[in-house]
Amino acid sequence: MLDNFIDAHVHLNTRSTAKLDTAKKWNARFLSINTDIPFFESIEEQEAVIHDLQKEYPQGIKFITSFDTKFWNTEDWLPHAMQQIKIGLANGAAGVKIWKNIGMDKSVKDKDGKFVMVDDKRFDPIYEYLAKNDILLIGHQGEPRNCWLPLEEMTVNSDRDYFAGHPEYHMFKNPDYPSYQAQMQARDNVLIKHPDLKYVGLHLFSMEYSLDEVAKRLEKFPNSKTDLAERICHVQLQAMEDHEKVREFFIKYQDRIIYGTDVIEDGSMTDEEVKNRFEGLWQAHWDFFATSKELTAPEFDGSFKGLALPPEVLEKIFRDNAIKTYGFLT
């Protein structure tokens, strides 16, 4: 693995130090992304955890703040959300996240009962504030396209297994929710309306099924970047089909792709499991991007060849782009 790399998409939600010990062993750093997820603690508590972890690993952890939908459909919502954002930034956050609950949570609807999307004008003051103050927005909108497909048409086992076990989140079974296309268009509409907004489209812009579609967004929105979190298996699947095309994508967009795993460290794993989770992913991902080995992945059948990216490209994806984007020390 690259020395002094950055796992720039994790959720460190406990004060356990196992992940810190593992990071120090590998000379790794973390970007922990605070998110308004129902089974997470509050955004404020997530931040408190990060501040405690930073005391143990001062240069090893940065974080992203967010806002919740408390007081939605009332005049108190925007002042509350802006206060959360400003407090998080004042406390050291490297940016602000907007999550998929906007567009996919049935509790976030307008007064007419319609789902609210990220291009709703009520979010414009937030986008305008961030753009005016040169503050980064990172976004996870929608889900993998597989979420809207029947189980038998899904492309990777991890998605198939998850949505089989959680049909309530399987959008194919929820046709009254906004479509995949509507989710992607709403996100694009925000970037069109706010061209000065610095933006990271998380999870390959939720367009993981096609690097061509990811490339279109990177071309159309020059202030945008993307990350790889929890979508590398989709890249590997495409590499099995057209290795050289995938390799060329990473070389062409080497300055705009950021490595991350999306590991959620929430207390459900033992210390040994935490260590094994991080080390297993880091090594497998490095083998894919850095070597020409013949590899397999648990998410689909068949083998694929590692990309063997040039050293300077690996340095950008695994470290330098995160430094530039999130403000880590060099």
* pLDDT tens profile 43-98: 999 999 999 999 999 999 999 999 999 999 999 999 999 999 999 999 999 999 99
pLDDT at 259: 99
pTM flag (> 0.95): yes
Supply the angle between the helices 211-220 and 243-252 in degrees, to the nearest 10.
Answer: 20
Residue 166 has pLDDT above 90, yes or no: no
Q: Is the pLDDT at 162 greater than 90, yes or no?
A: no
Strand order in the sheet with 28-33: 257-258, 224-227, 199-201, 137-139, 96-98, 61-66, 28-33, 5-12, 263-265
Local confidence band at 168 (pLDDT 50, 70, 90 cut-offs): confident
CA-to-CA dists, residue 288 to 158, 293, 296, angstroms: 18, 8, 10
Q: What is the mean pLDDT of residues 168-174?
A: 92
CA distance 111 to 109: 7
Q: Distance of CA 156 to CAs 44, 61, 113, 170, Å?
A: 35, 31, 34, 15
Q: Are 74 and 43 in contact (CB under 8 A)?
A: no
End-to-end distance of the chain based on CA atoms, in angstroms? 18
Q: How far apart are CA 10 and CA 50, in angstroms?
A: 12
Q: CA–CA separation, 329 vs 232, rounded Å? A: 26
> How confident is the prediction for the chain on average, in pLDDT?
97
CA distance 94 to 29: 14
Q: Residue 318 carries which DSSP code? A: I
Is residue 321 within 8 Å of residue 255, measured between CB atoms?
A: yes
User: HSE (CB half, 13 Å, CA atoms) of 267?
Assistant: 7
User: In percent, how much of the chain has pLDDT > 90?
Assistant: 97
What pLDDT was estimated at residue 101? 95
Tens digit of pLDDT for each residue in 85-94?
999 999 999 9
**Distance between CA atoms of residues 113 and 106, nearest Å:** 9
State the pLDDT at residue 265: 97
Q: Would you say domain 5-326 falls under CATH 3.20.20.140?
A: yes
Q: Are 74 and 67 in contact (CB under 8 A)?
A: no
For the segment 315-326, the average pLDDT, to the nearest whole number, is 98
Amino acid at 301: D
Q: Which region, left, alpha or beta, applies to residue 183 given φ > 0 means left and ψ of -120 to 50 means alpha?
A: alpha
Percentage of the chain surpassing pLDDT 70? 100
pLDDT, one tens digit per residue, over 192-241 is: 999 999 999 999 999 999 999 999 999 999 999 999 999 999 999 999 99
**Residues 116, 109: contact at Cβ < 8 Å?**
yes
